[in-house]
Amino acid sequence: MPACVWLLLFSDAQTCHLASLHRQLPLAAASLARGYAKDATDKTTGSTSLEDFRAREEQLERERDAAEEAAAKATQNEAGSGGAGGAGGKHQESAEQTAKQAKVDAIRDKILDAALEHVPQHGWTRQAIVLGAEQCGYPSVVHGMFPEGGFALVSHFNGRCNAQLVQSLKEKTSKGQQEVENPLDFLVQAVRQRMEMIAPYKAQWPQAMSLIAQPQHASTALAQVLTLVDDICYYSGDRSVDFGWYTRRIGLATIMKMTELYLLQDTSAGNVQTWEFLKNRMDEAVQLQMALSQTEGMTHTFQRSFNSAFITARNILGLGFKRN
C-alpha cells in the first residue's frame, strides 16, 4: 500500500517531534464533485437491558403471531396472486427487522452520548460506556452491545463531530450553493473548527489515537477521514474536474493529522500556536502546489502517487465516492 495511506491510518499513533510536522504537503484550493464514504461502523444487535427482557420476549411472540398470519394469508392468496402474498410477508418481515435495528442503534447512540461525559475521568474505555449505560437507566451488562470496546466510543465521537461540522458548512454555504470568497481561509477555518471539538478531550486523545491506529479499526477510521475531507473540499467550492482531485484530498487529510498531533503538544493559551501552525501549513501547501505546477513532469509523477494512494484507500473500503 502507498506510504501516504499508512500515514493517514497510523499517524495517530506516532510521537514524532514537532520539527517533522513542518514538511510541505500538496493541496490546491479547489476541485471536483462530491463523494461519500459509507459509514463503516459496525452496528451490533443484542439485548438492551435485563429490564427489557420480558418486553422483548413479548415482542417476539407478537412477531411469531404476525409471521403465522402472514404465512396463512400467503397460502390463501398463492393461487390467485402467484406468490404476491409471500412477497408481502417477506417485505413485512424486512420492515420489522429494520425497525428493530433502528431501535438498537438509537439505544447505542444514547448510551455513547452519555458515555462521553465520563471520558475525561475514565478515558475512551468500556468503563466510560458502562457508566453511560447506567446513566441512561440500563444495567452495566449492556456493554455487551459494544464488542469494539473503547473504539466504539471514539468512532461515535468522530462521527458526531464530523456531522456537526458538515451541518455548519452547509449553513455557511447555503448547502453548497453559495460561492466561497476565500477558499483557502474556508479550509483553514473548517479544519480549526473540527480540531476545536477535540480540545476538551486533549488529555485523553492520545488513547483515542492509539485505538484508531489498530488494524482492526482501520476501515472505519479511514472512511471517516476520507468522508470528512471530501465534504470540506466540496463546500469550499471544489468543483473542477482535473488530475489533482485526489491529491488535494490526501493533502488536506494529512494536514489535518499534522495539526491534530501539534494540538496535543500545544501549551499556548487557547491553542493559538496550533492555529498558526495550521495556517502556515495550508499556505505552504498552496505555494508548493503552485511551484510543482510549473514542472509538468514532476507534477504528474507527484500527483499519480497521491491519486494512487486515495484510490487504494477507497478500494480497501469498497466504496464509491459519488453522491446523488
Rounded average pLDDT per 10-residue block, the chain, 324 residues: 40 40 38 32 38 55 66 62 56 83 92 97 96 90 86 97 97 93 95 98 97 92 91 87 72 94 96 97 84 61 60 52 37
142 grid coordinates: 449492556
pLDDT of 40 reads 32
Domain coordinates in residue numbering, the chain: 103-146, 150-317
pTM, entire model: 0.68
- Of 131, 162, 312, 157, nearest to 225 by C-alpha is 162
pLDDT of 187 reads 96
Helix-then-strand count for the chain, H and E:
12, 0
pLDDT of 38 reads 31
pLDDT of 287 reads 83
pLDDT of 248 reads 82
CA–CA distances in Å: residue 87 to residues 61, 91, 101, 174: 22, 6, 21, 43
pLDDT of 322 reads 40
Q: What is the CA radius of gyration of the chain?
A: 24
pLDDT of 246 reads 74
DSSP state of 224: H
pLDDT of 154 reads 98
pLDDT of 22 reads 40
